Amino acid sequence: MFKFLLRAILVLALGGLTATAQAQSAAEPPHSVPPAAKPPASNLTPEQVQAIERIIHDYLMRNPEVILDAVESLEQKRNEQARANAKSAIGEHRDEILNDPDSPVAGNPKGDVTIVEFFDYRCPYCKQVEPSLAQLRKDDAKVRFVYKELPILGPDSVVATRAALAARKQNKYQDLHDALMRARGTLDEATVLKIASEAGLDTTKLKADMSSPEVERIIKRNLDLAHTLTINGTPGFIIGDQLVPGAVDMATLKSLVADARK
């Protein structure tokens, strides 16, 4: 890592020398010495390169915080760019994000702020944040919730997602969603159907609806949308024009909602 930084700084230094030389050359009058007659500014001998590397090495050893500052600055720039990219993508796909008729909705259907959640029924962080989301639905009657199932954690995730989406045919989506979020352990088909039965669903109909092409299309759309928005894990939230990755607490949720209302 240290040697890589030395090389990178050396390249930047040589690039700066070259750029300076080129600028000076361009500023000289036509009758000056032709550029071809001048040696390239970066045409250093191995000994000169080693000397520069020693200077950089010694400087960094005396001032190691420079490396941390550079890494932090790079990370900040990357995060800023990621936020800008996400904001742009949200704007371009806003209707699909907020108004897909196949995405289940909870809370106030006409709420002034919408929280969109991409989640997986096997994701422990999704289950961790679920009580806060449920409490927010009770505390704030003006918030609309949109569910985007994102089964990325294996076959059991797909089974649970298929069941939840199929439950819409029986007007039992929220009931099964809540039950699956409370569930711990495996979510194979037998377990999911047992949970569905306890939640009051007709499991014979549910099992048939789980295999419908419509359910398959919804899952694919959600996966494609998540990819477009660079949502690579669960949970992932969209609140206003912000993409918020990971589990967040109640205070953060309320703050994000308040910002979206401004």
Domain boundary among 58, 92, 126: 92
- How far apart, in whole angstroms, are the C-alpha atoms of residue 45 and residue 28? 26
- Give yes or no: residues 26 and 124 share one domain: no
- Give yes or no: residues 27 and 64 share one domain: yes
Instruction: Decide if pLDDT at 109 tops 80.
Output: yes
- Give yes or no: residues 125 and 151 share one domain: yes
- Give yes or no: residues 55 and 85 share one domain: yes
Instruction: Decide if pLDDT at 141 tops 80.
Output: yes
- Give yes or no: residues 14 and 64 share one domain: yes
* Sequence-distant (≥ 6) Cβ neighbours of residue 176 within 8 angstroms: 163, 164, 167, 195, 196, 199, 201
pLDDT of residue 80: 74
Instruction: Decide if pLDDT at 239 tops 90.
Output: yes
- Give yes or no: residues 103 and 84 share one domain: no
Domain boundary among 26, 60, 92: 92
- Give yes or no: residues 214 and 109 share one domain: yes
CATH number for the domain that contains residue 239 = 3.40.30.10
- Give yes or no: residues 79 and 99 share one domain: no
Instruction: Decide if pLDDT at 28 tops 80.
Output: no
Instruction: Decide if pLDDT at 153 tops 60.
Output: yes
- Give yes or no: residues 86 and 126 share one domain: no
pLDDT of residue 198: 97
The DSSP result for 159-202, as a single string, is: HHHHHHHHGGGGT-HHHHHHHHHH--S---HHHHHHHHHHTT--
Could you tell me if 243 and 231 are in contact, meaning their C-beta atoms sit under 8 angstroms apart?
yes
pLDDT in tens, 200-210: 999 999 999 99
Residue 105 bridge partners (DSSP) = 146
Tally of domains in the chain: 2
Domain boundary among 55, 77, 92: 92
- Give yes or no: residues 51 and 102 share one domain: no
Enclosing domain of residue 155 = 95-261
- Give yes or no: residues 100 and 76 share one domain: no
- Give yes or no: residues 78 and 187 share one domain: no
